[in-house]
Amino acid sequence: MSTDQIGLFMVLAGVFVFFAWGRWRYDIVAFAALMVCVLIGIVPSDTAFTGFSHPAVITVAAVLIVSKGLANSGAIDRVAHIVVPPLKNLAAQIGVMSGFAAVLSAVMNNVAALALLMPASIESAKRAGRSPALLLMPLSFGSILGGLITLIGTPPNIVIGNYRSDVLGAPFSMFDFAPVGLAVAAVGIAYLALAGWRLLPKERQAKSAPEELFDIDAYMAEVRVPAGSSAAGKSLVQLEKVAESCDLSIAGIVRNHKPMLRVPRSTEILANDILLLETGPKELDTFVHKLGLETIGSADKDKGLFASDDVVLAEAVISADSRLIGRESGELRLRSRYGLNLLGVSRQGQAIRKRLHKLVFRSGDVLLLQGDADGIADTMARLRILPLAERGFLMGKRNQAWIAASLLAGAVALAGLGVVGLTVALALAALGMVLFSVVPLRDLYDAIDWPVIVLVAAMIPIGGALETTGATALITESILRLSGSHSPAFILMLLFIATMTLSDLMNNVATAVMMAPIGTGLAQALGANPDSFLMAVAVGSSCAFLTPIGHKNNALVMGPGGYHFGDYWRVGLPLELLIIAVAMPMILWVWPL
């Protein structure tokens, strides 16, 4: 084993450990790994950033913009409320819902598809009197399965499609993935509808809807400012200093029964004002006695005081790329900077009782927010937090649905007829989304998931180093030596299982980049069809069902569904075994060895 090979294997081991640990975001890990490879001479410095110009990166960015256009247009949102009804039969409801998610994920980014369908699914569960946990995990899994069907359904397919162009001279086409993907998706959705939901723990099946977890009494207090209080006549900024010394925060003011949002810090506190406080019992007692305030009984406290014609309540979930993650609520100054009051937080189905201004946000946390009715949707989009239900505000430009759908259909047609390559076709569709203002110019770059772009661009040179250092050949020889005289089909299955296992523990794009050279190396050593091995890597890298960290969608539903870490393998392990049983024969049939 050469020095370069040892160095590369150490870097890849570090990537695996840090991806699984999750302490740092995957794009930072991948970029740091690339820099290490450059410093130790594994990746030449003049080719270190060639990944950023790779067609796979452009294709992923274009798909994200097109997906944003479909979401903005309201086309999916409009259909979702029709296709995801509160059916009496739970199996039918799961089948229809997850099947629709799969269809959407075949033509747009599967994370975007899930985000669009979550509000309708939660509302459907509530109307049917069911726990959202029964629907959200099947919805997530269905959207992941749907991504297997087409080239643009999921980033690993895009990576594998373009890798084939690099090694074999031509990429996979738009629907080359369809025969295997459709079979896997159909069987997987049938399993989810008939059996998968039954494997969830009983307590998860009976859990209440997210909004019922937000008991404002648990961490919000209302206090009245009587005429003789020392708080009367003080400015809000003066009162906030006292509140800070008592380790609590002022969430807002109610004056004449109207909640006041975006209150200037110079505002004078008047007698009979009501202060909304985020606090615990001990801190509240100290604050009340220090200023001579009056607590208001819980009978007077309900969500009605936190909303009006101009102010709404909204439940939202923190996405995996939200700027809130890892930061304290108090540090973010949500009220002064964004006009949002944080009234409640739920994590894995449990309301968090400690003081909210000290809370460090995590991906999947469910938030109860109060905000201005006209601007809350845009603010949530900027912060990358996704609404779980509509609360008096509409998302999207519903009159542009036909434009967005036509642009996507046109891109697929141009690529399918061979007029232009898929990357160019999707880039034209993305340009059309901007020119027709389906995706406003100001939102163009926000539509792109930049951590994914950096991840793909950083991992491509590292994947290339597997071949240039001879590491791929070394791994191939080791696998063949360990497998003995087993058939190519058996080795193909080992590759498939290994890829699925890696994808459950690290990012699926990184898995595809790392396993693709190994797949082609095995095919060449065996004299087999490389397409069958690349297809196994494509399907395996997208099938992450055992953990919430393997795919963004799994993390996204964890909070709203109230799932625990172990719930995923309970439902996901039988699904992965079923996928192996279905995908292997289909790959061997469609892409014979």
Query: Do residues 240 and 169 share a domain?
Result: no
Say which range, 39-43, 261-265, 302-306, 464-468, has the weakest mean pLDDT.
Answer: 302-306
Say which range, 110-119, 252-261, 386-395, 529-538, has the weakest mean pLDDT.
Answer: 386-395
Nearest to 554 by CA among 540, 541, 544: 544
Rounded Cα distance between 278 and 255, Å, is 18
Indicate whether 419 belongs to any domain.
no
Containing structural domain, residue 497:
3-208+424-590
Query: Do residues 439 and 490 share a domain?
Result: yes
Helix (H) or strand (E) holding 541: helix 530-542
Query: Do residues 237 and 92 share a domain?
Result: no
| Structure-model confidence comparison of residues 307 and 518, the more confident one | 518
Tens digits of residue pLDDT in 201-231: 887 776 554 545 565 556 678 889 998 888 8
pLDDT for 392 equals 40
What is the chain's length?
593
Query: Do residues 45 and 194 share a domain?
Result: yes
Indicate whether 416 belongs to any domain.
no
pLDDT for 393 equals 39
Indicate whether 410 belongs to any domain.
no
**Cα angle: 179, vertex 180, 182; to 5 degrees:** 70
Give the helix ranges, DSSP H, for 250-396.
281-291, 329-332, 376-383
Rounded Cα distance between 395 and 314, Å, is 13
Query: Do residues 197 and 317 share a domain?
Result: no
Indicate whether 281 belongs to any domain.
yes
Query: Do residues 67 and 196 share a domain?
Result: yes
| Burial class (CB within 10 angstroms; exposed 0-12, middle 13-18, buried 19+) of 413 | exposed
Is the whole-model pTM more than 0.75? yes
Token output for 346 = 């739920």
pLDDT at 77 over 60: yes
Tens digits of residue pLDDT in 97-111: 899 999 999 988 888
Rounded Cα distance between 265 and 9, Å, is 56
Say which range, 16-20, 91-95, 187-191, has the weakest mean pLDDT.
Answer: 16-20
Indicate whether 533 belongs to any domain.
yes
CA 116 to chain centre: 11
Order the strands of the 258-260 sheet from edge to edge: 258-260, 249-255, 274-278, 220-224, 294-295
Indicate whether 415 belongs to any domain.
no
Nearest to 561 by CA among 208, 214, 260: 208
The total number of structural domains in the chain stands at 3
Provide the 3-class DSSP secondary structure of residue 484.
coil
pLDDT for 394 equals 43
| Burial class (CB within 10 angstroms; exposed 0-12, middle 13-18, buried 19+) of 301 | middle
Considering 341, 365, 387, which residue would you say is the last residue of a domain? Answer: 387
Say which CATH number the domain at 266 has.
3.30.70.1450
Considering 362, 387, 412, which residue would you say is the last residue of a domain? Answer: 387
Query: Do residues 440 and 574 share a domain?
Result: yes
Rounded Cα distance between 454 and 341, Å, is 33
Query: Do residues 176 and 238 share a domain?
Result: no
**DSSP states along 126-194:** HHTT--THHHHHHHHHHHHHHTTSSTTSSHHHHHHHHHHHHHHSS---TTTTHHHHHHHHHHHHHHHHH
Considering 292, 316, 339, which residue would you say is the last residue of a domain? Answer: 292
pLDDT for 2 equals 86
Query: Do residues 463 and 438 share a domain?
Result: yes
Terminal Cα-to-Cα distance of the chain (whole angstroms): 30
pLDDT, average across residues 567-586 = 95
pLDDT at 308 over 70: no
Nearest to 162 by CA among 154, 152, 153, 172: 172
Indicate whether 392 belongs to any domain.
no
Indicate whether 299 belongs to any domain.
no
Please, are residues 273 and 224 in contact by the beta-carbon 8 Å criterion? yes
**DSSP states along 206-249:** TPPPGGGG--GGGTEEEEE--TT-TTTT-BHHHHHHHHHHTT-E
Query: Do residues 355 and 236 share a domain?
Result: no
pLDDT, average across residues 385-389 = 80
Query: Do residues 234 and 378 share a domain?
Result: no
> Crossing angle for the helix pair 75-83 and 55-73, nearest 10 degrees?
70
In terms of phi and psi (left: phi > 0; alpha: psi -120 to 50; beta: otherwise), the region of 369 is beta
Q: What Rg, from alpha-carbon coordinates, does the chain have?
A: 26
Query: Do residues 61 and 157 share a domain?
Result: yes
